[in-house]
């Protein structure tokens, strides 16, 4: 079994993965309420929470494993906030030392990429390799608060970076949009809720830059467009049209993500499409990306809701499946806050 540890940002999470069965248990403490008051994640506060939570969560996880059963500890070593990553890696090393087992360094972004296959494995663990082989090459879209990335999992499980955003991430665009609208943090779920029943065509927001075939995302124009729209409106009109504003804004973000994913699907010979990261919680995005896969007649894999945001199940699972890349061995494992894909 593999114990997964995630502490790169504002979630402290532990998971136990059994290659023969799947995720055996997962425990997560979210700091959303704490950081919500500040309108974003405060690294110093986040690291204090990780210190507080890591020990008790590891203790809880012991209901699912005993020493001798753990083969390794998979821990996020980047990208993320340095003081937060450091705590997860330190906890992993301490526990690994006590149990005399290796530490595997997992790239958080690759954790998101692989998260969409957790349920595929669980459905039939003994035939997982064949099931995975059938759906590679795979096009993956990670859409979170910090990242918007298109990448490709090749047949040999290596991952090629395709594109990211030249400015804001998709989740960031939703969070900043929500702030302009006077809503709370995080903005994505609030906008989604208020968008229900709104007219998606009430406001004509831009769908990112670039030619159709270009894969790079851009969301800063969308945010600026919302600001100008709001500046030109009376306060009462904004309140009256809140639902239309949210619906139109959300549609613009989803269209931009779907448009570039479609372009990427056109450029490669893909056998499946995946969606992960916090924004993958969004119902409209899940539906729209599902339709893109349907158009190409390939299966669509979306991370299940508890595995869209940051979690340790995806880290433990990546420690198992990402045979091309996981860093093994190490008490010399270092944190890499700026790590790319």
* Strand pairing class (72-78; 2-6): parallel
Contacts of 225 (CB under 8 A, 6+ apart): 205, 206
* Smaller CB separation from ligand KG4, 175 or 244: 175
Of 202-231, which residues contact ligand KG4 (CB under 6 A)? none
CB 217 within 8 A of CB 166: yes
175 near Zn ion, rule: CB under 5 A: no
Of the residues 175, 244, 292, 322, which one makes contact with ligand KG4 according to CB under 6 A: 175
Return phi, psi of residue 249, to 5°.
Answer: -70, -45
Among 145, 177, 208, 274, binds ligand KG4 (CB under 6 A): 145
Residue 188 binding: pick among ligand KG4, Zn ion, none (C-beta 5-8 Å cut-off by kind): ligand KG4
Minimum CB distance to ligand KG4 smaller for 71 or for 175: 175
Q: Which region among 13-21, 74-82, 142-150, 208-216 touches Zn ion (by CB under 5 A)?
A: 142-150
Instruction: Please list the residues that pair with 104 across neighbouring strands.
Output: 74
- Is 187 a binding residue for ligand KG4 by CB under 6 A? The answer is yes
Q: Minimal distance in Å, beta carbon 305 to Zn ion? A: 14
Max CA separation in the chain (angstroms): 66
First to last CA, the chain: 25
310 binds Zn ion (CB under 5 A): yes
- Cα 182 to Cα 108, 179, 191, distances in angstroms: 31, 5, 11
Q: How many residues bind Zn ion, per CB under 5 A?
A: 2
* Residue 78: φ, ψ to 5°: 165, 165
**Chosen from ligand KG4, Zn ion, none, partner binding at 341 (C-beta under 5 to 8 Å by type):** none
Judged by CB under 6 A, the stretch of 118-126, 140-148, 201-209, 260-268 that binds ligand KG4 is 140-148
Give the whole-angstrom CA distance, residue 53 versus residue 49.
6
- The DSSP call for residue 215 is -
- By beta-carbon proximity to Zn ion, the closer residue of 7 and 120 is 7
β-pair type (138-143, 2-6): unpaired
**Residues at the site binding ligand KG4, with contacts judged by CB under 6 A:** 9, 144-146, 171, 174-175, 186-189, 192, 277-279, 281-282, 309-310
**Residues at the site binding Zn ion, with contacts judged by CB under 5 A:** 144, 310
């Amino acid at each position: 079994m593999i114990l997964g540890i995630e502490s790169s940002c504002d979630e402290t999470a532990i998971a136990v993965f059994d290659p023969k069965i799947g995720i055996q248990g997962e425990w997560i403490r979210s700091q959303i309420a704490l950081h919500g008051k500040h309108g974003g994640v405060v690294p110093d506060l986040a690291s204090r929470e990780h210190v507080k939570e890591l020990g008790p969560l590891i203790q809880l996880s012991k209901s699912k494993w005993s020493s001798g059963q753990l083969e390794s500890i998979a821990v996020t070593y980047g990208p993320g906030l340095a003081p937060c990553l450091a705590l997860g890696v330190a906890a992993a090393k301490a526990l690994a030392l006590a149990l005399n087992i290796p530490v595997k360094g997992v790239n958080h972004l690759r954790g998101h990429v692989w998260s969409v296959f957790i349920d595929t494995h669980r459905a039939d663990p003994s035939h997982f390799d064949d099931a995975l082989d059938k759906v590679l090459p795979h096009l993956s879209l990670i859409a979170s608060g910090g990242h918007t990335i298109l990448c490709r999992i090749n047949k040999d499980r290596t991952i090629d970076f395709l594109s990211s955003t030249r400015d804001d991430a998709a989740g960031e665009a939703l969070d900043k949009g929500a702030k302009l609208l006077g809503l709370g943090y995080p903005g994505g779920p609030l906008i989604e809720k208020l968008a229900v029943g709104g007219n998606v065509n009430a406001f004509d927001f831009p769908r990112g830059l670039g030619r159709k075939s270009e894969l790079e995302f851009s969301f800063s124009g969308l945010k600026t467009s919302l600001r100008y729209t709001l500046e030109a409106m009376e306060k009462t009109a904004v309140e009256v049209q809140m639902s239309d504003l949210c619906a139109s804004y959300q549609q613009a973000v989803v269209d931009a993500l779907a448009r570039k994913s479609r372009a990427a699907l056109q450029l490669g010979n893909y056998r499946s499409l995946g969606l992960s990261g916090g924004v993958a919680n969004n119902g409209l995005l899940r539906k729209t990306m599902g339709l893109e896969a349907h158009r190409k007649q390939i299966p669509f894999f979306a991370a299940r809701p508890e595995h869209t945001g940051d979690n340790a199940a995806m880290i433990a699972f990546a420690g198992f499946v990402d045979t091309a890349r996981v860093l093994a061995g190490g008490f010399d494992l270092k944190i890499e806050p700026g790590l790319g894909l």
